[in-house]
A and B are shown apart, each in its own frame.
Chain A
Amino acid sequence: MSEPKFTENSVPVLALGYRFQWEPAQDCYVLLYPEGMVKLNPAASEILKRIIEKKQTVGELITELKIAFDGADLDDDVYQFLEEAHDNDWIRAE
């Protein structure tokens, strides 16, 4: 396991050249990047949607998600996703 890239105070942003959009033909959100596409599952979509909407810290992002999902215990899932997304070069930490 490499050093975690995200803490409560880091701000995740989409990496250069990536675009997040809804694809009616796929019936899901996707990430588009130079010559490629990633289909996103609903959980990943909920997180990325909020990263695109506004710049906010991971802490704020988690608070927002908890409100949207009835206080679900999702901290670990969010951190795990952010690290994976970072490893895939989809996002950066500011």
Chain B
Amino acid sequence: MTTTGSEQSKAPGSIAGSLSMDDTSNIRQPLWLLAELTYACPLQCPYCSNPMDFANIKSELTTQEWIEVFKEARAMGATQLGLSGGEPLVRPDIIELITEARNLGFYTNLITSGIGLTAEKAKAFKEAGLDHIQVSFQASSEDLNNLIAGTDAFQHKIEMAKAVKAAGYPMVLCFVTHRQNIDKIDEILDLAINLDADYVELATTQYYGWAMHNRDQLLPLKEQLVRAEAIAHEYQEKQKGNMKIYYVVPDYYEVRPKACMNGWGNVFLTITPDGTALPCHAARELPGMELPNVRDTSISDIWNGSNDFNRFRGFEWMKEPCRSCDEKEKDFGGCRCQAYMLTGDPAVADPVCDKSPHHHLIEEAIAKGREEAAKTEEAAKPLVFRNPKNSKEICGL
């Protein structure tokens, strides 16, 4: 994904994305606007990256407020707009939002489960200027897909993937992989080939929100990953020039952390359904966040001046071993949210790094996953599905 004399960004979908960008300049601009239009969703995926307490967030931005957000971010240089959620198609004003965004010059990405999509809507969105629809799949087979999604969705998704292509978009499929479906990676890729997909993203679950809650049941085993990676590379070779396969490497099995969001407050801006501005979609859960809202502060003030966005910019905030590490400009110490979730301190090195004194926490999580995987079906912990009932129960709302 590198090119000569140019700059690229690639931010995989709403579900478990990481963002990488070869940025040679120091100019900080919010190039990527992720608009989480709603937390409502007909699916209940247990690996959802939405916050556990999403059921508590009720006051969604209005159409006009979203359009204002688009205008402000665009004026600051944002080019990519992710219309995400929850399920963005739940918003009755989705076509109006697409129209406005496209008129402003955004490259508009609709990140959807496909539920609520019809062939007619796919066409109407195209006419409104939508550039790209990403349809997410939970697995390659009906039974497993429906089990993981907590609903009967598979056949409809297949139909919608075809409808997207028929309407003249590139077909972009996203499969979120984890222990329960990663062994089917060849079936997943065969399905994508049969559908004549243009891009396939194999996104390993990253452990935020609901996925963190279900980590013991979702974390793949090392041997599963080795196999999956080999198969993914084999298909990549075979499909060259035909179908592009992105394989997102799972960070729990790495020894260096991901350059999360390509640096805090560097290129990525998330606006949640209620208008909270975040440097990444998981950052709401960090302690000490002031959570500025676009309803009362301009995006420019939030991006340039808020404590939240300045908190982990640059290198001053770093502790050892990051502070004196010669790789800090490459990975920015990894993910602040992961550092906090695992250690309780968002300013320490991401424990994925084997230089971190907390790296043992990753190894322990892997060992726990293996223990869980060895259990019989009856003894195993059940997956906790992402739905309002569980959200309220778990968060005591």
Contacts and interface: CB of A to CB of B under 8 A. Distances in A.
Interface stretch (B3-11, B113-121, B293-301, B333-341): B3-11
A26 B4 contact: no
A44 B168 CA distance: 26
Interface residues of B, number: 32
Contacts, number: 71
Nearest to A36: B10
B276 interface: no
A61 interface: no
B131 A17 contact: yes
B253 interface: no
Contacts of B302: none
Given A39-B6, A41-B5, A34 B79 contact: no
Contacts of B241: 89
Contacts of A25: 29, 76-77
B80 A32 contact: yes
A39 B7 contact: yes
Majority SS at the chain B contact face = loop
Nearest to A41: B5
Interface in B2-30: 3-13, 29
B169 A36 contact: no
4 closest Cβ contacts across the A-B interface? A25-B77, A17-B170, A32-B107, A34-B132
Interface in B105-152: 105, 107, 109, 131-132, 134
Given A41-B5, A41-B6, A34 B131 contact: yes
B235 interface: no
Interface string B83-122: 0000000000000000000000101010000000000000
Contacts of A41: 5-6
Q: Size range of the interface on A?
A: 20 to 34
Interface of A: 16-17, 19, 21, 23, 25-26, 30, 32-41, 44, 84, 88-89
Contacts of A84: 3-4
A35 B132 CA distance: 9
B209 interface: no
Contact of B79 (A17, A23, A40, A89): A23
B356 to A, nearest CB: 30
A84 B105 CA distance: 26
